[in-house]
Every structure is written in structure tokens, then in C-alpha cells.
Amino acid sequence: SQQGEEDPQALSIQEGENATMNCSYKTSINNLQWYRQNSGRGLVHLILIRSNEREKHSGRLRVTLDTSKKSSSLLITASRAADTASYFCATFTTDSWGKLQFGAGTQVVVTP
Amino acid sequence: GAVVSQHPSRVICKSGTSVKIECRSLDFQATTMFWYRQFPKQSLMLMATSNEGSKATYEQGVEKDKFLINHASLTLSTLTVTSAHPEDSSFYICSALGDGYNEQFFGPGTRLTVL
């Protein structure tokens, strides 16, 4: 079952613009992870943010986590055409035996 | 980082045949692996949890007799789609749980097409 919902479902932007997508979840979590998936390919792990963290950066990525609202956001700054992909959030809970619950995903298209 | 491979990357088979997909952790041992399926433009749906040396745990709605999982070693799990039908056509992705038990490492996926 899907724990998370992501919005928007699709996002189309120009190169150089920022892309923001949001993820909401329902239960308490240990950490939240963001993944990228290029069309027809496997998942690439982008960033993991723990429940006691509020913000994390990795290169052009910025992730926030608000456990009181059970939501997270992923910001891609200065987007590039190569950022075109689907982005998924996934939550991990300590009693889930290592399972991840994936959100529905956001399809991002960056046009040159 | 940890590397997980899948084989084959693509497979086309006739309806009624069985297909085996392998998932290997290349540079670490994984007592737990997961199998997902993904339909076009959809998210990953967990099918089952594969534990080395024991029976797999299937998610609700997943037929264990149709999707046979074997995790005979700490680096290999296999998923066999038995008597495949066109509706089984999908992208199958495996992952392996890291030592810290809070991160999964994903394979590149296997595209199954059943004619």
C-alpha cells in the first residue's frame, strides 16, 4: 500500500528554474528518502533525512521535513534537462522490518 | 555505495511460460531483499520481502504460488513468475537492505513482456 502522496503529479519547467515537489505521509517515521527514476530505469537514491532533522542539502538538492505536518519537500535548484525524471519519496518506520512505503511520485520535465 | 544487479534486464516470453529474475548484491551481504513491481507511470508496489534461509513474506493480494521467491544465499534472491500472462507484464525491481537496516539499495530493474 502507498503511504505517501506527492504533489504535484507532474511538473514542467524551463532549465534554470527551481522545481519543488511535496510529499505527505500518514504514520510516524524513522526517516524519509527521496529517489529519482529515469524512464524505464532503476531507482537512484538522492537523499535521506532522519526524523530528527529538519533540513538537508546535497548539491542542488534541498530537502525539508516537517514531522508535525507529516510532510517533506524536495527542491531542485537551477534545474537542468538531465533532471527530467520521476521523483519518489519513501518513508521508513522502525517497525516495518526495513520496508519502504513509496509515494505516488512526481514526473518532472525540464525543457532546455 | 552498495551495488545491486538484476538479470536479465529485459525478457520477452510467451504466455504460459515461467520466467526467473535474479537479484544480486555485489559487494555486500543482504539477509533481506525486496521485490517490487511497477506499472507504467505508477509508483513501486512492494510484492514481497525475501529473507535468506526462510520463506518470503508476501504483501496482501500477491499470489505466492505465482510469484515464487527463493533467497538461497546472502547475495542472491530470485523471483520466478510462473505461468506468465500478459497482465504480468511489468517492470520488476529488487532491492537489498543494507547493514544499517534503514536504507535499501535498488537494482536496475527487469522489464518483463508477456506475449
Summarised one tens digit per residue, pLDDT across range B48-88 is 999 888 889 999 999 999 999 999 889 999 999 999 999 99
3-state secondary structure A4-67: CEEECCEEEEECCCCEEEEEECCCCCCEEEEEEECCCCCEEEEEEEECCCCEEEECCEEEEEEC
Summarised one tens digit per residue, pLDDT across range A15-56 is 999 999 999 999 899 999 999 999 888 899 999 999 999 999
Say how many CA atoms lie within 13 Å of A4 toward its Cβ: 36
pLDDT class of A99 with cuts at 50, 70, 90: confident
Q: 3-class DSSP state for residue A87?
A: strand
Q: What's chain A's average pLDDT?
A: 92
Q: Which amino acid is at B84?
A: A
pLDDT class of A96 with cuts at 50, 70, 90: confident
pLDDT at residue B99 greater than cutoff 80: no
At A87 the pLDDT is 96
pLDDT at residue B100 greater than cutoff 70: no
At A85 the pLDDT is 97
pLDDT at residue A78 greater than cutoff 60: yes
Q: Could you tell me where the beta strands, DSSP code E, fall in B1-115? A: 4-7, 10-13, 19-25, 32-38, 45-51, 57-58, 67-73, 76-81, 90-97, 104-106, 110-114
∠ CA B16-A43-A52, rounded to 5°? 130
At B101 the pLDDT is 63
∠ CA B53-B69-A101, rounded to 5°? 95
Maximal C-alpha separation, chain B: 41
Does A92 touch chain B if contact means CB atoms closer than 8 Å?
A: yes
Q: Which residue has the higher pLDDT, A85 or A27?
A: A85
pLDDT at residue B104 greater than cutoff 80: yes
Residues of A in contact with B41 (CB under 8 A): 107
At A1 the pLDDT is 38
Report in angstroms the alpha-carbon separations of A104 from A9, A25, A92, B101. 8, 11, 15, 23
Give A63 to chain B, closest Cα distance, Å.
17
**Mutation site, A43, A50, A89, interface B, largest B CB count within 10 A:** A43
pLDDT at residue A81 greater than cutoff 90: yes
Cell numbers found for residue B96: 537489498
Give A13 to chain B, closest Cα distance, Å.
19
CB-CB contact of A56 with A49 (8 Å): yes
Q: Which helix (H) or strand (E) holds B64?
A: none
At B102 the pLDDT is 66
Give B2 to chain A, closest Cα distance, Å.
11
Return d(Cα B72, Cα B52) in angstroms, integer: 6
Residues of A in contact with B97 (CB under 8 A): 98
Report in angstroms the alpha-carbon separations of B107 from A73, A107, B94. 25, 21, 5
Cell numbers found for residue B104: 535499501
Does A48 touch chain B if contact means CB atoms closer than 8 Å?
A: yes
- The stretch A65-83 carries a mean pLDDT of 97
- The stretch B14-41 carries a mean pLDDT of 94
